[in-house]
A and B are shown apart, each in its own frame.
Chain A
Amino acid sequence: MKTQQITLEKTIVQSEGNIASDMDGEKVMLSVQKGKYYNLGELGGEIWDLLKEPITIHELVTTLQSQYDVAQTECEEQVTDFINQLLEQGLVRIEDRINS
């Protein structure tokens, strides 16, 4: 099993400098910085939209679970894995959020 580098409490937000577009129901994106195109798919596109504002992975999972028929453990693992892929490509970043 893959090691998860991030925890559910981490706050994630989109990085700047990406151009996203909907194409046939799927989210396609260009990273200007890397000069690469990405296909996030339909669900990946929904997750991407949720990452416009800083959000914890736990909040992300809760939102997705309210819309999709998926077990919590499965959702947490797969969303965390997906976020790790986005982090590796520099498409999102971890934001230090201070609770006031």
Chain B
Amino acid sequence: MKKEWQTPKLEVLNINM
């Protein structure tokens, strides 16, 4: 059975390094 599709997104995380 195929999995449910979800739109792939690139999220930039705001973490101060």
Contact = CB atoms under 8 A, between A and B. Distances in A.
Interface of A: 28, 35-44, 47, 67-70, 74-75, 78-79, 82, 85-86, 89, 91
Nearest to B9: A41
Interface string B1-17: 01111111111110101
Interface of B: 2-13, 15, 17
Contacts, number: 57
Given A35-B17, A67-B3, A69-B2, A89 B10 contact: yes
A28 B11 CA distance: 9
Nearest to A45: B8
A39 B11 contact: yes
Contacts of B6: 41-43
